[in-house]
Amino acid sequence: MMRFIDVGDLLDAWEEFMSAASHSLMIKYGLRGEPSEDLVKRWLDLTNRYIADGQSREAAGHAAAKYLFPDYRTHVYASEADNIEALLRLAGGK
């Protein structure tokens, strides 16, 4: 049988997906850094198990993150816009 799909391409796609996922998890759950690929997989498994147990998607995600990431909600990623807006308000109200 001939194979047209390059396994390397699939791995690349997977890697990209994982790095995007770990970045999103870092922001969403307020982690110190991006979690490793292994940790992201475990988070996914655990979240799916919680969903199967009847929790909502959001609640399941948070519960799994709380269980797996020791730095869960230790960081707040305030956006640049928030800083600038606060400064603008201070300047205008002076």
Partner 1 sequence: MIDFHFDPATWSAIKVIGGFVAGFAVSRLTMSKAERKAHQQRLYENGKEHRKARDERSHDFQAALKAYILKVEPADLEDFHSISRAGELYFGELRMIADAILGKKIDDQVRDNTFVPDIVEALQKTIPAYYEELRRVADKIGVPFSGEFRRENYQSLVEVAEKFGRMRVPKSSW
| CA 45 – CA 11 distance, rounded (Å) | 20
Comparing CB distances to partner 1, the nearer of 6 and 38 is: 6
Residues 6+ apart with CB under 8 A from 73: 29, 30, 66
Comparing CB distances to partner 1, the nearer of 18 and 39 is: 18
Q: Considering the complex, what minimum distance in angstroms separates the CB of residue 92 from partner 1?
A: 3
Contact residues: partner 1, CB under 8 A: 2, 4, 6, 8-9, 12, 16, 19-20, 23-24, 28, 58, 79-85, 87-94
Q: Which residue has the tokens 């998890």?
A: 25
